[in-house]
Structures are given as C-alpha cells and as structure tokens.
Amino acid sequence: MLPDQQSINSTVNFSDSGKVIAILHAGIIKMYYTRNETLLENNMQVDFYDENTRIEATITGKRGRVDDLNKDIYIYENVVVKNDSGMVLTTEKLMWRNSDKKIWTDEFVKIKTKTEDIEGYGFESDQSLKNYTIYKVTLKTEGNGL
C-alpha cells in the first residue's frame, strides 16, 4: 500500500500548550491517513526538551512508528537513549507515551551511568530518564561506568 504522503529527511515538532516538548527527525516519513499511523524509516531521532527548551534526552533507532490518534511514538532496532547527565540506555524496542510523557518497554535493556551498569527486562521512565524503574533486574554492577 502506498503512503498518502511521504517526505525525505524531515522534522516533526510535538508541542503542548505552545511549548515544544519533542522534535522528531527521520530519513523517510510515510503517512497513512486511513490507518492513522506514520511510519519512520532510514534512522530516526527524537529530542525531548525540558521547560527551558534544553534537550534533556535523545532517542535514536533504525525505524519507528507514530500513532497519529494519540501521538505515541514507537522506536525499533538498535534503540539508544541518552540523557543530559550521561546515562545511556540500549534496547531493541521502546515506546514514548504522549499522554504521560513516559518512556516504556517490556524488552531487555542495558543502562550505563557514571557509577553503575544495570541490565534487565521491562523499563519505565520519565522522558528525561531521571526517574526510572527496571522491572526484572538481571545484573547490577557498580564502578566507573562511563
């Protein structure tokens, strides 16, 4: 099925009450109006902004999808999340829920901070990665980290 609209090397802004909360960049964006979804291909990046319009976290992945009804973003393959304090999360699938601005996955995750390495299954966090939960921790080591 051909998309209703397609763009190359594009940017999409997400805002709330006139403030930019996220900016999405993708190599290819394909919009399907009847399916209420937008497919993101050829590498993608989402920058999340704090109330002072500073980037507080960035998510990158190979491909993704936006649910056009609720504006949730799904990112797949080689997903990396970095925040402004140096934390790095890697996984294969991640979702950003627009309704509560949370990042979530039920997949295996690795988190590296300046002081520890953590691995586990299932993850939920605010979009800045400052307050997070790993549901099934399988490894935690303390040390030099990054």
pLDDT of residue 146: 47
Placement of tokens 């797949």 in the chain:
76
Name the phi and psi angles at 2, rounded to 5: -80, 145
What pLDDT, on the 0 to 100 scale, is given for residue 125? 95
Domain spanning 5-106: which CATH class is it, in words? mainly beta
Residue 97 makes CB contacts below 8 A (sequence gap 6+) with: 72, 103, 104
Per-residue pLDDT of the chain (146 residues; tens, 9 = 90+): 899 999 999 998 988 888 888 899 999 999 999 999 999 999 999 999 988 889 999 999 999 999 999 989 999 999 999 999 999 999 999 999 989 989 999 999 999 998 999 999 999 999 888 899 999 999 888 865 44
The one-character DSSP state at 92 is E
CB 45 within 8 A of CB 29: no
Give the predicted TM-score (pTM) of the model: 0.88
Distance between CA atoms of 113 and 144, rounded to whole angstroms?
A: 8
Model pLDDT, residue 54: 92
| Residues 102, 55 contacting (CB under 8 angstroms) | no
What pLDDT is attached to residue 140? Answer: 87
pLDDT score, position 1: 84
Within 68-142, strands assigned E span 73-83, 88-97, 102-112, 116-126, 132-142
Domain ranges of the chain: 5-106
Q: Which residue has the tokens 């590498």?
A: 43
